[in-house]
Amino acid sequence: MCPSSPPTNPAASNIGEYLPPVDLDEAYENRKYIPGGDAYVDQWNAAAADFRNSVPHSDLDQSYGDAPRQKYDLFWPEGGPGTEKGLLVIVHGGYWVAFSKDNFTHLAAGPRDLGWAVAMVSYTLAPEARISAITTEISHAVNHLAKIGRGPMRLAGHSAGGHLVSRMMCRDIALGDIAAARIDRVVSISGLHDLRPLRLLEKNAEFQLDEAEAMRESAIACLPRGGINLVCVAGADERPEFVRQNGLLPLIWQGLGVKGAAHLIDDENHFSIIGQMTDSKSQLCGLIDSDLS
C-alpha cells in the first residue's frame, strides 16, 4: 500500500521522487484517506443549495444540448449582466461517474465576488457515456457558453473535471472560433492528465477505458493549443498519484511552448481544496483570477 499522503508540501518539480504505487486502486482512492471524507458530500450539497437559492442575477438549468444532463447554471456578478470581467466555466469532478452541477454551485462564490460571471456545467456520467463522449459534451458546453457575456473566458475543473478542462486545450478538440479566441487560461484542480493507469483500476468497470481511448483522452499525449495559460494545482496533502498527475502536464506541455506551472497548496487535500473557491481571497481564487503576465 502506498503512503496516505506525500511528504509535507513537496515541490511540484519533485514528482520523480515518489516510488511507484504497489496497489493502484489504493493509490487513486481518496475518501478513506481523508479525515471526515464521508461528510464532505453533505456539506457540499447544503452549501450549494444555499448559494443557488440566495444569489440574484442567476440563470438556472439552462441547456447546452439535448441530453438530460447537458445543463448549466449561470451566475452573474453583483452588478448583473454586462458588469462581468469575464466568464469562468467550472466542470465538476466525481471520477466521471458521480455528481452534477447541483452539488457544487457554491464554488462560484469566490470568482463571482471577484467580478466573474460563472457557469457551472453538468454532463452525462459514465458508464452511460464513455469518457471520450463526455469530453465532446464539454466542448459543446464551452462553445455554447463562449457566446455569452464579455471578456476573457477561463475554464476550471476538479479531478475528472480537471481532465475535461485540460482536454479543451488540446488541438483535437473542436473549439469554435469564439471559444478559441476567448479562452486565455485553463485551471486543472487535482486533475487527471494521464488516463492510462486508470485502465488497471477496479473503477474501470464503470469508465470502460480501453487502451486506445485511454491514450486519446490523456492530455499528456496530446498536442496543446497555443496562447492559453495552463495552471495545474493540487493540495499538498493529496495522495501521491494525484500530486504526480498534477505535475506531469505542465512539465510536458512547457516543452511544447505552453506557458504553465504546477502549484501545491499547503494543508489541502483532494476534497478540501475546492473549498478555496468559495473565498475570493484564497490562493486558488488568486490563481484563477490573476492577470496574465
Side chain identity at 133, as an amino acid letter? Answer: A
Supply the pLDDT for residue 130: 97
State pTM to two decimals: 0.93
Name the CATH topology of 20-288.
Rossmann fold (3.40.50)
97, three cell numbers? 461517474
The full DSSP string for 168-230 is: TTBTTS---HHHHHHEEEEEEES-----GGGGGSTTHHHH---HHHHHHT-GGGSPBPSS-EE
Supply the pLDDT for residue 21: 78
Give average pLDDT by consecutive 10-residue segment, the chain, 293 residues.
37 56 90 92 96 95 98 97 97 98 98 98 98 98 98 98 98 97 98 97 96 98 97 97 96 96 97 98 98 78
Supply the pLDDT for residue 8: 37
Cβ of 223: how many Cβ atoms within 10 Å?
11
Supply the pLDDT for residue 55: 94
Supply the pLDDT for residue 13: 45
The radius of gyration computed from the CA coordinates of the chain, to the nearest angstrom, equals: 18
Supply the pLDDT for residue 10: 40
Nearest residue to 168 via CA among 199, 135, 201: 135
Tell me the per-residue pLDDT of 192-204, one tens digit each, with 9 for 90 and over.
999 999 999 999 9
